[in-house]
Structure 1
């Protein structure tokens, strides 16, 4: 590197100032024809420059001494702030790690709960299907049943006849059955009121359309093999009922009407604590 870059500023100023003074004196001597060295007194400007430089050096030294304690305090304060911020950063990093672990645990628990919820929803849908409390559709068999032609009383289809046919369809593998769009389930039932047939408490009229969702390839054949199916076909032959069956690609059945349970008692409960029936003594 050049010498003027590495030389201290105060030394550089002093040296250059004195070199300029010597150069000025040498020029005056050369103009006067005096080449030999002569003992002369220093030029007044040189003395002034030396004095100014000395004063500047003293001021710089005093200023440096005064600022040293302040700089030391500032440095100590910065070091303390750095240490404090470092502790805060470590604390935040620890909190982040705890939150990440908590989030992972919550995600795992959520996944498990979601799986259990999906399983429960599947079981509820299956229970609704079996119990008849949800609308369903699918392939199956549509059977049309009517009274014997001629209007004879002994040729009318009764509730017990339809109940036998429905029981046979369930035994043959039907998953859902309806009569004239009235879904048949355990809480509904088929009843005769005088000469009218009621399903779920609502009257249905002949011809009776019995729709059953199941495998259409086997449902009719398996119906003949069941005990209830054999009883049904025996009645068809004995009473002359009209019977026609066809396979259907898509049958839509409504949900059964909901009914309020009034006298249900848990299996492990005390039967004496159940609701009192009409006419029972206290």
Structure 2
């Protein structure tokens, strides 16, 4: 009799093992092609390390550049401080010259001198006796007083609150005084800061002031000298360039 065997059971591993082996082979082949003979994970680490080294080099260069700039800033700061010190020294050295030149306000003891025309009569007219020119203040009178004050080494002189400098000119235009482009009417007030005794002595010794003093005594002109403990002369605020005539 022929013996009929039992049918064999289906084993899934028989099919899965070849499939897994085939997939693994494909994966290895793909990795080999992509890496082209290099280590993929090792390549990533190498690129990151190179990036870090490049960044460190850049930072080091920037720090060196910053240090150089800081040195330049410090050098410029030291130079500026030195220049400021030199400027301050020059300003301090030039301060007396600025004051005597009339370019700075001046305060100190001195004299206030008033000069005025002869007083008018009750009718409002001037006395008619003698020459009428003897009854008014002239340019020479004001100039004689100013010259005497300068001769006494006055620290500063002003007329009607206008500070005088080396180029100031005292000019009379009719019955008025022209000074620094402005006109003033009498009484004229001359103020000077300096040694009051020396200025009084120079006023007494000046021939021009003596002539004016005699006219004042004879015709009633005002010549009043008053000593003051504190006078303030303003700084000269006009133009410093020379004014001269030009051909028309």
Q: Per the shorter chain, which TM-score range? A: 0.5 to 0.7
Higher RCO (Cα < 8 Å, 6 or more apart): 2
Alpha carbons 1:132, 1:184 under 8 Å: kept:
yes
Specify every segment of 5 or more residues in structure 2 that has no aligned partner in the other structure, as ranges: 1-27, 33-37, 120-125
Counterparts in 2 of 1:123 and 1:181: CA distance versus 1, 3 Å:
same
Name 1:47's counterpart in structure 2.
none
Question: How is 1:85-234 mapped onto 2 (pairs within 5 angstroms)?
Answer: 85-118=55-88, 129-133=99-103, 136-141=105-110, 142-147=112-117, 153-154=133-134, 156-214=136-194, 219-226=195-202, 230-231=205-206, 233-234=209-210
More helix by proportion, 1 or 2?
Answer: 1
Q: What's the offset of the Cα at 1:210?
A: 0.9
Q: What's the offset of the Cα at 1:254?
A: 5.6
Using structure 1 for the length normalisation, give the TM-score: 0.56
Between Structure 1 and Structure 2, whose CA radius of gyration is higher? Answer: 1
Name 2:232's counterpart in structure 1.
251
Name 1:242's counterpart in structure 2.
223
CA–CA distance in 2 between the matches of 1:133 and 1:93?
A: 52
Aligned length: 200
Question: How is 1:13-32 mapped onto 2 (pairs within 5 angstroms)?
Answer: none
What SS does structure 2 have at the residue aligned with 1:244?
strand
Q: What's the offset of the Cα at 1:138?
A: 1.2
Name 2:6's counterpart in structure 1.
none
Alpha carbons 2:115, 2:186 under 8 Å: kept:
yes
Specify every segment of 5 or more residues in structure 1 that has no aligned partner in the other structure, as ranges: 1-62, 264-275
Q: What's the offset of the Cα at 1:102?
A: 1.2
What SS does structure 2 have at the residue aligned with 1:188?
coil
